[in-house]
Amino acid sequence: QVQLVESGGGLVQPGGSLTLSCAASRNIFGIASMGWYRQAPGNQREMVASISRAGTTTYADAVRGRFIISRDTADNTVSLQMSSLKPEDTSVYFCNVHTVVPRPYDYWGQGTQVTVSS
């Protein structure tokens, strides 16, 4: 079954904005954090931003000040507001949900393409 549903990817010009959203299935329990990772061609997957159950946020240096991650607890979703986008932000973005119950586990979305180009 599809447990993480991503949306919001697309093509945007440099300096533009885009918002990614990810909804986790309600049958996923023990969520410790939700976040976004990205993987460009030839690169390893890297963390972009994450938010813990307590609301603590973590950002990669490359996106700090430009991206904002938020969580809607009631809807069990996580969003990534991206602004001042740069060509180097071009990548496939993956939603991540980390759970600790019943055991540590990482759920991954299928990936959504973000292309920043003029």
For range 54-65, the mean pLDDT: 97
pLDDT in tens, 19-46: 999 999 988 888 899 999 999 999 999 9
Q: Give 82-115 pLDDT, tens digit per residue.
A: 999 999 999 999 999 999 888 899 999 999 999 9
From the number of C-beta atoms within 10 Å of its C-beta (0-12, 13-18, 19+), residue 93 rates as buried
Angstrom distance (rounded) from CA 112 to CA 77: 16
Place of tokens 């586990």: 105
pLDDT at 2 exceeding the cut of 80: no
- The share of the chain scoring above pLDDT 90, in percent, equals 85
Q: What is the pLDDT of residue 108?
A: 96
**DSSP 8-state code for residue 77:** E
